[in-house]
Chains A and B, each alone.
Chain A
Amino acid sequence: MLLGFSSKYEKVYQGSVLDLIAETVGESLDMAKLEPKDIDGVITTWLPWIFDGTLAIGFPENYISEYLGIKPRFTDLVQYGGASAVEMFYRAYKAVKSGEADRVLCIVGGKGTLMKKQLREGGVEKLSEVELLNILRNNPFDEFIRIYRDMDPISFYAMVAARHSKLYGTTDEQRALLAVQQRYNANSNERALFKGPLTVKDVTNSRVVSTPLRLLEITYPIDGVLAFIVGKGTSQLRSMDIISYGDVVWPEFFAERDIDIVYTPTVESVKKIDFNLNKIDAFEIYDAFTIMVLTELEDLGLIEKGKIGKFVEENDLTIKGNIPVNTGGGSLNMGQPAYMSGIIVLEEAFLQFNNMAKGNQVSGADHILVNGLGGWNTHAITLVIGEKK
């Protein structure tokens, strides 16, 4: 089912994202032993600014296909934020299963550094003015939301962390311990961009970005692209299937949710999973912030809500431990390419399943759970991948 994949991540990439796309698509086609003419489906995603720093008016799936000389008979545009890449994999799988396409190329990526530049150099204020003029809207209530100064999305997840601590006593050190465990994995991963020794104290002594979240609990924006091909036919990769899946959308603005903000939509997506989580060999969990991983692990049902702090202390979540989580170090150590970290967790699952993780391979990685999370805890998709026998 997975025929080929390739990625490229850099702290700052000077060229156009179209260069990165052309390179990674070419490599993924080579791995699959296919040519552009063999591709009949394209799935992508797009958000303002962070593709090439430009504002998209529409039809990104055409824009990208046009550049690559691909004529798809099936396209899809997935706007699930951080959950987009994982959702794309699932939709491509469904499209192939249903016969809508035979070989679907999924492309996710852009320049995370451009988003950072816009946000840090006055982009937020500029954006507010634009949005107040109703030129650009993300939400029907934008004029009642964007008027306030925040650090979206850090502010939202910081409020989740603050409330988790208030309700359950989760400590800064417990969140930091997760970052330390993921760094342990990254230090064995030759692809990780952020490495080196890291202690709980290093994390808790790092600069506060938005209380209670600190610098070393937050992903660093980078530039990068992942291309992967899902389709029929044989390949040099191990035969892969989606064993179980669940996805869910919580479209409400978070101030209007009936459920406490310490819950992620994973609490619903996992209800559709028909697989014993005790048999999962590696968990690849969306990790733009430490608190996301902690709340996702709770919502997956590994531990009841509120008890994750103790759980992190009592279990070893590294690649040598009893519950390997984010085996490549996650986005906290790979960085966050544009369209968020979904490509990091998804690609790590591809690598683990194919015994291609150099230095950080978990032995016998036959069943891997991937959890994507997007927006203000707005989208979740949970997949169990493995080999159907």
Chain B
Amino acid sequence: MNLNEIIQTYYEYFNKEKLPYIKCANCGYVFYYPRGICPKCLSKKLSIMESKGEGEIYSETKFVNERGQVVIVGLIKLEEGFIVYANILTDRLENVSINRKVKVEFKEAIKGQKFPFFTTIS
């Protein structure tokens, strides 16, 4: 697949509420951010996989936006070994801290297109 096809496949996965990632058949490296080549060995033998969508918070930060809402940005380390940068959604701010378990949740972020967000597992 070329890059645009991979990006399109990612968008289709998101709208089906699935979290994709890529595994290199040549060197075994797993990564999230879409590419048509493996960034470790440049192989084109890549497979789009489906993540369980569960992991833990690697780091996070909270801020108040211009509308007075608390926004959380975090790095999420998924069980399959890759890291995703995303917003963390919660009703309980005290639940969001480094090492806390989280799972993916999908939300329409622009019209007609869902994107992955994360929420803590209580």
Contacts and interface: CB of A to CB of B under 8 A. Distances in A.
A151 to B, nearest CB: 5
Given A149-B73, A256-B31, A256-B83, A166 B98 contact: yes
B42 to A, nearest CB: 15
Interface stretch (A16-24, A154-162, A275-283): A154-162
A261 B59 contact: yes
Interface of B: 7, 10, 31-35, 39, 58-63, 65-66, 71, 73-75, 82-87, 97-99, 109-110, 115
A147 B63 contact: no
21 contacts: A132-B110, A140-B35, A143-B7, A144-B34, A144-B115, A147-B109, A149-B65, A149-B87, A151-B63, A158-B63, A162-B59, A162-B98, A166-B59, A166-B99, A208-B63, A254-B75, A255-B33, A256-B31, A256-B32, A256-B33, A256-B83
Nearest 5 A/B pairs, CB to CB: A158-B61, A159-B59, A210-B63, A163-B59, A141-B33
Contacts of A213: 61
Contacts of B87: 148-149
Interface residues of A, number: 33
Contacts of A163: 58-59, 98
A253 B34 CA distance: 12
Nearest to A132: B110
Contacts of A154: 63
Given A144-B33, A210-B63, A159 B115 contact: no
Nearest to B35: A140
Contacts of B83: 255-256
A24 to B, nearest CB: 34
Given A122-B66, A145-B85, A211-B61, A159 B31 contact: no
